[in-house]
Amino acid sequence: MFSLKSLEAFDLEAADALLAAIRAVAEENFFAITVPCDAGTFAELAVRQPRWLVARVQFEEGPLAGSVSCTLPEELAHVLLDAFSGWEPSAPAPTYDQVLDLVGEFSNMVCGSWLTRITRHQAFTLSRPVVEPALAPAHADGPRLFVAVRDLPLAVDVRLQSVTQDVRPEGFV
Amino acid sequence: MRILIADDSAMMRALIKRVVKLSDVPVEEILEAGNGAEALALLKSHDVHLLLTDINMPVMSGTILLREIAGNDRWRGLNCMIISTDGSTSRREETADLDARWYLEKPFRPEVLKDVLTKVAGSLRS
């Protein structure tokens, strides 16, 4: 069960669920081995990447609202697209819009899979993903998870907010 | 069998379409819609046997689409399958109450979709 106390501190249960969601999505539909890494390893992998994409999905689940953002280099986006769509080398190169769509769908699945894991009962709504280019990963305002997907960097950020101010558990300040 | 895929992601529609084509189930036509409203328009103009729909879509969600289908005798017996990232029990119960027979949670294994296609194709033959 998701803890509202994690509005201030992203708890271990939610972090484990997020990692499990990323791995399930990456490995089952994108055939990409995914392992957690630390900030230093992420930085080493990231320094070689000139162009990035950031996909943000907003969600509402009962009294909670927030967003999940996936930040990844364009190289990883193309790797994921090739795996997801079975792109043949002889086929025309994918369009930029197709790459953005794919990154948005990846983020959509990560967010949805995470929300389903942390509370199996509560339905949720997701916004259409917004995908934008970036020159480098931005500084994280909240909890961030670093992973390596096929040895390429991926950062997943979670931002949480309550929908109604009066929804607080006992003892929550 | 004529299949309608409703999902706002063109890449996801392409994946589902590829799984359908690789399933060896005889399919006459695969239609695509980017939201529930487009799907409803296609249902009105085509004889569809199986609807594969996402839940979270702009313009008209999958849930509202199912409500429209359930409220119209014209589509009584239409096979409906949900393919969604929302795997919560409440969403599953909600769509089951709207006569969706199958629920596939993303990320999904292609063989699960193939099993449903085989079952639907078999039921149409009998």
pLDDT tens-digit map of A110-163: 999 999 998 888 889 999 999 999 988 887 777 899 999 999 999 999 988 865
Task: Assign B43 a pLDDT band (cuts: 50, 70, 90).
Answer: very high
Are A116 and B94 a contacting pair at CB < 8 A?
Answer: no
The tokens describing A161, both together, are: 């907010």
Q: Count chain A–chain B contacts defined by CB atoms under 8 A.
A: 76
ipTM (interface predicted TM): 0.86
Mean pLDDT of A30-56: 94
Three-class SS state of A135: coil
Which pLDDT value is given to residue A12? 81
Run of H or E including A20: helix A12-29
A107 — contact with chain B (CB < 8 Å)? no
Strand partners, B29: B2
pLDDT at residue A7 greater than cutoff 70: no
Q: Which of A27, A95, A128, A149 to mutate to test the interface with B (most CBs of B within 10 A)?
A: A128
DSSP for B13-46, written as a single string: HHHHHHHHHHTT---SEEEEESSHHHHHHHHHHS
Which pLDDT value is given to residue B126? 67
Task: Assign A59 a pLDDT band (cuts: 50, 70, 90).
Answer: very high
Evaluate if pTM is beyond 0.80.
yes
Query: Quick one: closest CA in B to A26, which residue?
Result: B107
> Using CA atoms in the order B16, B30, B95, B126, what is the torsion angle rounded to 10 degrees?
-110
Q: Which of B10, B85, B94 sits opposite A112 (nearest CB)?
A: B85
Query: Quick one: closest CA in B to A23, which residue?
Result: B107
pLDDT at residue A45 greater than cutoff 50: yes
Query: Quick one: closest CA in A to B105, which residue?
Result: A113
Q: From the CA of A42, how many Å to the nearest CA of chain B?
A: 25
Which positions 130-149 of A are in contact with B (Cβ < 8 Å)?
none
pLDDT at residue A168 greater than cutoff 80: no
Q: Tell me the percentage of chain B whose pLDDT exceeds 70.
A: 99
Task: Assign A10 a pLDDT band (cuts: 50, 70, 90).
Answer: low
Contact residues, chain A, for B105 at CB < 8 Å:
113, 116
Q: From the CA of B21, how many Å to the nearest CA of chain A?
A: 13
pLDDT in tens, A123-138: 899 999 999 999 888 8
Coarse DSSP helix, strand, coil percentages of chain A, rounded to the nearest 5 percent: 40, 25, 35
Mean pLDDT of B6-32: 93
Task: Assign A62 a pLDDT band (cuts: 50, 70, 90).
Answer: confident
pLDDT at residue B25 greater than cutoff 60: yes
Contact residues, chain A, for B12 at CB < 8 Å:
105
Cβ–Cβ under 8 Å, residues A33 and A22: no
Query: Quick one: closest CA in A to B95, which residue?
Result: A123
Q: From the CA of B55, how many Å to the nearest CA of chain A?
A: 9
Q: In this predicted model, which residue has the larger pLDDT, B80 or A84? A: B80
Mean pLDDT of B92-115: 93
Which pLDDT value is given to residue B33? 98
Please give the mean pLDDT across all residues of chain A: 85
Three-class SS state of B79: strand
Contact residues, chain A, for B107 at CB < 8 Å:
24-25, 28-29, 109, 113
Are A126 and B56 a contacting pair at CB < 8 A?
Answer: yes
Label residue A9 left, alpha or beta by phi (over 0 means left) and psi (-120 to 50 means alpha): beta
Query: Quick one: closest CA in B to A111, which residue?
Result: B85
